[in-house]
C-alpha cells in the first residue's frame, strides 16, 4: 500500500487529454513539492514535472502538473503512442522522514 | 552532462551482504544530496535511503533501517549502499538518484543495478 494514491491505470486515444491523480496528506503533498516521473520498460525513470508544475528542458509542453492542498495531478494533452508508460508521483513526507512514491499509473494509448 | 553509473549488483543468498556503488560525473557531486531508490520486479518505485551533501543527515525506509547503510566519498564522487542481512524481498533494481537544486526531489537517475536475493 503506497503512501501516495494513484489510479493503477489510465487510457486515452491519440490526441486526447488524460489526467492522472495523486492523493496524499498534510505531511507529504500538503507540505512539500510534488514530482512526476515517467518509466519506460528497461529504462531509467525520467523527470517530467518538478516543484508541482515546472517542466525540465526537453519535456514537451503537452505535459503539465498541478497541486491543490493534499492532491496533485499530471495532465498529458495531445496524447501520443510514445506516451504509453508508467507514471509515478513523489514527495517528501515529514511524518515518515522519507521520500514517498505513488503506486504508479500505467497509461495505455488505445 | 549528469551521469550516474551504478555497480555492485548480483546474486546473493538470504542473509548475505552486498555493497552497491554509484559513480557520479558531470556535476558538483559534493553539493547535492543523493538517494537510493529500488524497483522490485513488477512493482513500483520504492525509496530506500537519502544522504545529505556533507553526510550530516541520513534517512532510511523502515524496511531497511538497521540493515542498510548509505555513505558517500565526495573526494571521489562516489555514493555507496552497504546492504546486510539481505532478504528475498530486497530483490530489485537499485537506482542511484540525485536531488535537485531545491533539495526537495529527485531530478537525475542512473540506469540501475539488479540485486537478486535467492538461495
Whether residues A90 and B105 touch (CB distance < 8 A) is answered with: yes
Q: Quote the minimal CA–CA distance from A105 to chain B in Å.
A: 9
- Is B102 touching A (CB cutoff 8 A)? yes
> So what's the pLDDT on residue B76?
97
> So what's the pLDDT on residue A101?
97
Q: Cβ contacts (< 8 Å) between A91 and chain B: which residues?
A: 105
pLDDT at B112 exceeding the cut of 90: yes
pLDDT at B33 exceeding the cut of 90: yes
Instruction: Give the confidence band of A1 by pLDDT, cuts at 50, 70, 90.
Output: confident
Whether residues A98 and B59 touch (CB distance < 8 A) is answered with: yes
> What is the count of residue pairs from A and B with beta carbons less than 8 Å apart?
69
pLDDT at B46 exceeding the cut of 90: yes
Q: Please give, one letter per residue, the 3-state secondary structure of chain B.
A: CCEEEEECCEEECCCCCEEEEEEEECCCHHHCCEEEEEECCCCCEEEEEEECCCCCCEEECCCCCCCEEEEEECCCCEEEEEECCCCHHHCEEEEEEEECCCCCCEEEECCCEEEEECC
Whether residues B104 and A56 touch (CB distance < 8 A) is answered with: no
> So what's the pLDDT on residue B49?
98
Whether residues B95 and A45 touch (CB distance < 8 A) is answered with: yes
Give pLDDT tens digits for A51-68: 999 999 999 999 999 999
> So what's the pLDDT on residue B103?
83
Q: Which of A18-22, A41-45, A55-59 has the lowest mean pLDDT?
A: A41-45
**Closest partner CB to B44 (pick from A33, A96, A101):** A101
> So what's the pLDDT on residue B28?
97
In angstroms, how far is the first alpha carbon of chain B from the final one? 40
Q: How long a stretch of residues is chain A? A: 110
* Average pLDDT of the residues in B28-54: 96
* Average pLDDT of the residues in B39-43: 94
> So what's the pLDDT on residue B104?
86
Cell of A6: 494513484
Give pLDDT tens digits for A77-103: 999 999 999 999 999 999 999 999 999
* Average pLDDT of the residues in A39-61: 94
> So what's the pLDDT on residue A26?
97
- Is B41 touching A (CB cutoff 8 A)? no
Amino acid at each position: 500500500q503506497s503512501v501516495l494514491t494513484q489510479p493503477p491505470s489510465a487510457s486515452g486515444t491519440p490526441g486526447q487529454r488524460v489526467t492522472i491523480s495523486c492523493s496524499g496528506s498534510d505531511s507529504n503533498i500538503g507540505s512539500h513539492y510534488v514530482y512526476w516521473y515517467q518509466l519506460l520498460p528497461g529504462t531509467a525513470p525520467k523527470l517530467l514535472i518538478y516543484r508541482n508544475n515546472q517542466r525540465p528542458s526537453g519535456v514537451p509542453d503537452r505535459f503539465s502538473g498541478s497541486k491543490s492542498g493534499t492532491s496533485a495531478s499530471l495532465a498529458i494533452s495531445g496524447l501520443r503512442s510514445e506516451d504509453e508508460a508508467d507514471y509515478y508521483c513523489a514527495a517528501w513526507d515529514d511524518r515518515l522522514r522519507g521520500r514517498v512514491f505513488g503506486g504508479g499509473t500505467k497509461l495505455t494509448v488505445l | 552532462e549528469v551521469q550516474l553509473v551504478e555497480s555492485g549488483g548480483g546474486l546473493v543468498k538470504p542473509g548475505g551482504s552486498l555493497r552497491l556503488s554509484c559513480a557520479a560525473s558531470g556535476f558538483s557531486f559534493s553539493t547535492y544530496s543523493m538517494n537510493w531508490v529500488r524497483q522490485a520486479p513488477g512493482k513500483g518505485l520504492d525509496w530506500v535511503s537519502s544522504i545529505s551533501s556533507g553526510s550530516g543527515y541520513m534517512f532510511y525506509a523502515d524496511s531497511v533501517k538497521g540493515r542498510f547503510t548509505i555513505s558517500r566519498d565526495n573526494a571521489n564522487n562516489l555514493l555507496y549502499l552497504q546492504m546486510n542481512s539481505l532478504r528475498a524481498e530486497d530483490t530489485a533494481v537499485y537506482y542511484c538518484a540525485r536531488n535537485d537544486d531545491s533539495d526537495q526531489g529527485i531530478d537525475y537517475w542512473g540506469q540501475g543495478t539488479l540485486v537478486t536475493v535467492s538461495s
